Amino acid sequence: MNFSFIQFLTLFGALSLFLFGMKVMSEGIQKLAGDKMRSILSAMTSNRFLGVLTGFFITTLVQSSSASTVMVVSFVNAGLMSLVQSVGVIMGANIGTTTTAWLISFLGFKLNISSLSLPIIGIAFPLLYFTRDRLTSLGETLLGFALLFMGLGLLQQSVPDLHTNPEMFRALQNLTDYGFGSVLIFLGIGTLLTIVLQSSSATMALTLVMCNNGWIGFEHGAAIVLGENIGTTITANLAALVGNVYAKRTALAHTLFNIFGVIWMLIVFKLFIHQIDKQMVNMGLNSPMTDASMVPFGLAIFHTVFNITNTLLLIGFIKYIVYSVEKVIPSKGKVDERHHLEYFGSGILHMAEFSVLQAKRETRRYCDMAQRMFNFIPEMVYQTDRKKFAKLLARVSKYEEITDRVEVEITTFLIKTSRKQLSTSASEQLRRMRLVCSEVEKIGDVCFKMATMLDNKKEEKAYFTPRQREELDKMFALVNEAFDVMMVNLERGEAFAGTNMQRAYTLEKKINQFRDYINEEIIDEIEKGSSHVKSGFYFNKMISSCEKVGDSILNINEAAAGVNIE
């Protein structure tokens, strides 16, 4: 046996270059078509066939069903996608991952594409220095494509040859002597490889190289491919561990779908393999059972037919799959149903461009929380029951803690995402969201101070006059109207927010004018001696606090519209 540690590192380095090329190509494609992909996700309906096509499209681009299913789990966790939609997307993701086998089979083995890698890099590298985002993204995509196939070429060269190192793989070849037990062993190997590499596409590439070099035959290569389908579910389940009940259900649905497919395939495995072999021979191709160079094509056909068949078998049962996972993972009430921010830390491919969509959703929810918190204040103004007032005060205090914590979580997430390679547009959106989160946190602080003032007012037995309450109601109504405009602008996006800014400015002007009017009125009343000093003090502070909330709302509107951004 002649295989040194340096040779092992060379083999691992070749695999790492393949994975790095896949990552660079994926990120380049995401930036090249990021807005379109986000539009597709936003427009997604409960149409199961559309979901399958979307899953196929995304996985074809990112070249990893592990990465795309982790993304789906995160979207469900953030409320961007329903459980029914996610099952369809996962089915499509399984079909999308088959494109790796076809790509490698057609280009990686039949054509010496690695010899073209350097010329492709020569084209890609200058594009990286263009100022236009689309050209830069195209350069990254081409660079990733070149590195991917350069890594594949080096992987082929680094794999020891059976003729010169027969002892090296004798143990592996001995595993083929146990009949159906060997199929199960190689299925386990495929599962373990996918869990370790965190990418089913990388496992597929390694499997195709092993088969092409004669380590294992067509049958056992197909068993490894089945193992990839199980291994890729582990990644999604790990991502769902920190998610909410919806995320856990999505991961379980993915597991059930893939395991069911593997079970029925194992039942008809021998027949299925022989049918593929027979059809390839009928098409005039050599048999993958006897010709190692045909095994990659055989595995590509096996992988594709298996995943399409499995999808066709189960696409009509999506509602039953959803019903089953809801029974296995029941809801634990509103606490468990509350959405949390989900970090895209799992998987070898980070969905940076897709994270922008999730961050937008989380930011809107954060703003909605601020409006709910503000609306506790009018309730406190009118609440005369001491116990109920104390409950409202406790809720405002709790919300203030939540806004502080969520602001840290979202900001941390945005900073982590901004460190990834993003398009200029996506980076600008992240910067605006950080400004929005800062303003929402300010609103939370102001609301908490207002609640504390009302509590102090009660302790000092100062009371608002009917007229003061009436004017407070007017100010609350103005601020709530400003909140409504803000939420619509955040929901509809920059283009709409830009055309709707005049309404936001008008409301801000009304809030400021009302604050000025109240200030003058209070000074007049104090001079005339017709106002109680304490109630006048608290009334003025409440009005001023509302105006501060209005200022923050205007800043959020401007961030949504992309104007006056400091």
Q: Which tens digits make up the pLDDT trace of 53-109?
A: 877 877 776 655 655 666 666 566 555 567 777 788 888 888 887 877 777 766 655
Asked if the model's pLDDT at residue 344 lies above 50, the reply is no
In the chain, what are the domain boundaries? 5-337, 352-561
Asked if the model's pLDDT at residue 119 lies above 80, the reply is yes
pLDDT tier at 359 (50, 70, 90 boundaries)? confident
Q: Which of 261, 209, 223, 244 is nearest to 104 (CA)?
A: 209
Check residue 162 and give its pLDDT: 47
**Would you tell me how many other CB atoms lie within 10 Å of the CB of residue 415?**
11
Nearest 5°: the CA angle 359, 362, 364 is: 110
Give dist(CA 37, CA 58) in Å, integer. Answer: 8
Range in 37-46, 337-346, 502-511 the model is least confident about: 337-346
Q: Is 332 exposed, middle or buried (0-12, 13-18, 19+ CB in 10 A)?
A: exposed
Q: Show Cβ contacts of residue 38 under 8 Å, excluding neighbours closer than 6 positions.
A: 353, 354, 356, 357
Give dist(CA 559, CA 429) in Å, integer. Answer: 9
Asked if the model's pLDDT at residue 401 lies above 60, the reply is yes
On whether the 352-561 domain is CATH 1.20.58.220, my answer is yes
Check residue 348 and give its pLDDT: 35
Asked if the model's pLDDT at residue 337 lies above 80, the reply is no
**Are the beta carbons of 222 and 176 closer than 8 angstroms?**
no
Asked if the model's pLDDT at residue 300 lies above 70, the reply is yes
Check residue 353 and give its pLDDT: 56
Mean pLDDT in residue range 298-306: 89
What residue type is assigned to position 565 of the chain? I
Cα distances (Å, whole numbers) of residue 544 to 125, 273, 446, 447, 496: 56, 76, 10, 12, 30
The sign of the CA dihedral 486, 492, 497, 500 is: negative
- How does DSSP classify residue 316? G
| Mean of per-residue pLDDT scores for the chain | 78
pLDDT tier at 6 (50, 70, 90 boundaries)? confident
Q: Which tens digits make up the pLDDT trace of 436-486?
A: 888 998 999 999 999 999 998 888 888 888 888 899 999 999 999 999 999
Check residue 66 and give its pLDDT: 57
pTM for the whole structure: 0.55
Top pLDDT among 155 and 518 is at 518
Tokens 């270059």: give the residue: 17
Mean pLDDT in residue range 527-553: 82
